[in-house]
Amino acid sequence: MTLTQQRKQELITEYQAHETDTGSADLQVALLTERINQLNGHLQANPKDHASRRGLLKMIGHRKSLLAYIQNISQERYQTLIGRLGIRR
């Protein structure tokens, strides 16, 4: 259910802006999206897990605020990111 170190490293290499980037907004959104997708699958199998549902909603809110930040900086960067991640907005 958690994000494995190998998958996290794959996401970092795919979405990093430069060689030493480990925390840019684009990368944080990609990592949050991966965790949200995994947690969504868990909640479909366990619909009464309300603690996980609350965590999911907090992650979605955090991702939403990061996406708003990226959209304020550059509309083109925002469109590219949501297209790559498959997020509808």
- Asked if the structure places residue 69 within a domain, the reply is yes
Q: Tell me what the mean pLDDT of segment 19-23 comes to.
A: 90
Which of 58, 3, 62 has the alpha carbon at shortest distance from 29?
62
Whether residue 3 lies inside any domain: the answer is no
Is the whole-model pTM more than 0.75? yes
Exposure string over 31-42, b if 16+ CB within 10 A, otherwise e: bbbbbbeebeee
- Expressed as residue numbers, the domain containing 50 is 28-89
In a domain, 33, yes or no: yes
Q: Which of 16-20, 66-70, 79-83 has the lowest mean pLDDT?
A: 16-20
What's the average model confidence in pLDDT over 35-60?
96
Domain of 32, CATH number, reads: 1.10.287.10
78, part of any domain: yes
Domain presence at residue 13 = no
